[in-house]
Homo-oligomer: A and B are copies of this chain.
Amino acid sequence: MVPRRARGARCGRRRRRWSDHRSAPEPRPRAVRRLPIADLRELRRARGPRERGGARGRARCPRRGAGLKVSIAGLGLIGGSLALALKTRHRVSGFDIDASTREAALAAGVDIVGALEALLPADAVIVATPMAAIVPTLASLAQRSGAAVLLDVASVRAPVEAFAKSAPNGCRIVGLHPMAGRSGSGFAAASAKMLELRPFLVVPTVRSDTASMALAGALARDAGGEVTVCSAAQHDRIVAVLSALPLAFASALALAGAETVDGNLAALSGPGFGDSTRLALTSPDLGSAMLLANARNVRGALERARMILDEVDRAIAAGDFAALSAILERAAQARRRLS
């Protein structure tokens, strides 16, 4: 469901830059959502109150206009899942540098083109390559993106933010980061369901305008996601704490656990340890790239977590039941909002 204004904006009316809406000092993500994002609001009104269970919610929403031409560069876990989720209501084409991935996607009903360049023209191109390839791919597409909005799923925004500043004037670039994943990887692990009701962070760049933001929000919702808009700086602070820190913790736990029980984890650990360390299964290359690309924020998150652990340690050292319970109670309260 793409609001009419989003499509109209591509046809030559003055584009409002996303920065028009910015206020200083930088608000929290929730506050950002209250900024006058006319098109996203229109989208919400058009669809009525969000229902849990995206599929049912969508079915009740009358279809407006034809599907968009959505191209996807990179058909791994995230790109493949987006292709599968979006192809029911948009004309989706995809490309991947890996031939077997292209074949698997084709077999799953995704139209495949023979080269990156053939993804254009389009209404939107979603760049979903591994992180190191995202900026080069955007750079290649930006030269001749025409009316297409370039979206990218980079899990760290600073490099894209930096690239956008030097990108051609005419192109539009918006971040679209689904906070979704599983321990598998590649198209074989992709599924539309993986994206259902997951947070999609929509992140403007200096090359975003209102219409391209609305398009990103609409595609996120069409893929089953729940949209939150935040700045690149906010995004990178958030993922440092919600993605990178859990990876570092899971890895430290897995290593400390394995050395304590001589590698014999399966015989000695319960389900809690399994849950706590699941993220340690993340591909080391993917994980390292995520931690290094966001180094400053990740180190800040590690420092903050260390302070909380120090507080726990002091309460244990002092044998202070009340202080320790108070920390654990605050943590339980925070976590209950997720349950």
A interface residue numbers (CB < 8 A to B): 28-30, 179-183, 198-199, 201, 226, 228, 237-238, 241-243, 245-285, 287-289, 291-292, 295, 298-299, 301-302, 304-306, 308-309, 312-313, 316-317, 319, 321, 324-332, 334-339
Given contacts A201-B268, A243-B270, A281-B339, contact A252 B309 (CB under 8 A): yes
Which residues of the other chain, B, contact A336 by a CB distance below 8 angstroms? 281
A49 vs B317: C-alpha distance when bound (angstroms): 46
CB closest chain-B residue, reference A328: B284
Which residues of the other chain, B, contact A265 by a CB distance below 8 angstroms? 242, 334-335, 337-338
Number of copies: 2
CB closest chain-B residue, reference A268: B199
Q: Shortest Cβ distance from A242 into chain B, in angstroms?
A: 5
B272 A181 Cβ-Cβ under 8 A: yes
A321 B279 Cβ-Cβ under 8 A: no
Question: Can you list 15 A-B pairs with a CB-CB distance of less than 8 A?
Answer: A241-B261, A242-B269, A242-B270, A243-B273, A251-B308, A251-B332, A255-B331, A260-B301, A277-B331, A280-B331, A280-B332, A280-B334, A280-B335, A283-B332, A292-B319
B262 A199 Cβ-Cβ under 8 A: no
A51 vs B253: C-alpha distance when bound (angstroms): 29
B272 A332 Cβ-Cβ under 8 A: no
Q: Residue among A183, A295, A304, A335 with the most chain B CB within 10 A?
A: A335
- The 7 A-B pairs at the shortest CB distance, nearest first, are namely A251-B331, A258-B334, A179-B270, A284-B328, A246-B276, A280-B335, A252-B308
A308 vs B264: C-alpha distance when bound (angstroms): 19
Which residues of the other chain, B, contact A260 by a CB distance below 8 angstroms? 237-238, 241-242, 301
Q: Residue among A262, A267, A285 with the most chain B CB within 10 A?
A: A267
A329 vs B280: C-alpha distance when bound (angstroms): 9
A316 B298 Cβ-Cβ under 8 A: yes
Complex partner residue of A299 from B183, B305, B317, CB under 8 angstroms = B317
A58 vs B289: C-alpha distance when bound (angstroms): 48
Which residues of the other chain, B, contact A302 by a CB distance below 8 angstroms? 309, 312-313
Given contacts A299-B316, A308-B256, contact A332 B28 (CB under 8 A): no
B262 A28 Cβ-Cβ under 8 A: yes
Which residues of the other chain, B, contact A182 by a CB distance below 8 angstroms? 271
Q: Shortest Cβ distance from A217 into chain B, in angstroms?
A: 14
Q: Shortest Cβ distance from A245 into chain B, in angstroms?
A: 6
B305 A253 Cβ-Cβ under 8 A: yes
A288 B334 Cβ-Cβ under 8 A: no
CB closest chain-B residue, reference A269: B242
Q: Shortest Cβ distance from A260 into chain B, in angstroms?
A: 4
B325 A242 Cβ-Cβ under 8 A: no
A282 B242 Cβ-Cβ under 8 A: no
Which residues of the other chain, B, contact A181 by a CB distance below 8 angstroms? 270-272
A264 B316 Cβ-Cβ under 8 A: no
Which residues of the other chain, B, contact A305 by a CB distance below 8 angstroms? 252-253, 256
Known A280-B335, A292-B324, A295-B319; further 17 A-B contacts with Cβ < 8 A: A180-B271, A183-B339, A201-B268, A241-B260, A242-B257, A245-B256, A246-B276, A247-B328, A249-B252, A251-B332, A252-B309, A254-B331, A258-B334, A263-B337, A272-B279, A281-B335, A287-B328
